Structure 1
Amino acid sequence: MDCPRCQGSMVTELFEDMKDDTGRICFNGYRCLICGEILDPIIMANRQNRPHMLARNRKLMASSRV
């Protein structure tokens, strides 16, 4: 798998989260060897459901304020 941020190589890794809302402590994800980007099923789902036009408009509005 290639990293969406830097196109580096990603490896699978077992992560631990004691405060996970789902009740699971360990979960599998990917970590980039170059930039350290972390992806797991929750992160990927949230990025797919994000309204891209809204995010783009916020960036445009923020740059026009300066």
Structure 2
Amino acid sequence: MDCPRCQGIMIQDKFGDVADESGAMYFSGWRCITCGEILDPVISENRRHHHEPLIGRSRKKFATQLG
């Protein structure tokens, strides 16, 4: 499998997560040996449902001028 970030080689790896809401402490995924990118089913699903940022909305300025 090729890394989507750097096109390096990805290997299967096992990761630990004590804060996983599914109750699993370990999960399998892919890790790039060049850049360290990690892919697992949860990351892939979240990237598939990515929303584009809203265009034309500026942030409100909360800072006050000191003078």
Instruction: Give the TM-score normalised by the residue count of structure 1.
Output: 0.78
Larger radius of gyration, structure 1 or 2? 2
CA distance in 1, matches of 2:48, 2:4: 13
Q: Which residue of 1 aligns with 2:53?
A: 54
Percentage identity across aligned positions? 47
Query: Which secondary structure state, in structure 2, belongs to the residue aligned with residue 54 of structure 1?
Result: coil
Q: Which residue of 2 aligns with 1:36?
A: 36
Q: Which has the higher helix share?
A: 1
Number of residue equivalences:
58
Deviation at 1:54, TM superposition (A): 2.7
Say if 2:22 is the partner of 1:18. no
Instruction: Give the TM-score normalised by the residue count of structure 2.
Output: 0.76
Runs (4+) of structure 1 exceeding 2 A deviation are: none
Q: Which runs of 5+ in 1 are unaligned?
A: 62-66
Paired amino acid for 2:18: M
CA distance in 2, matches of 1:6, 1:39: 13
Q: Which runs of 5+ in 2 are unaligned?
A: 59-67
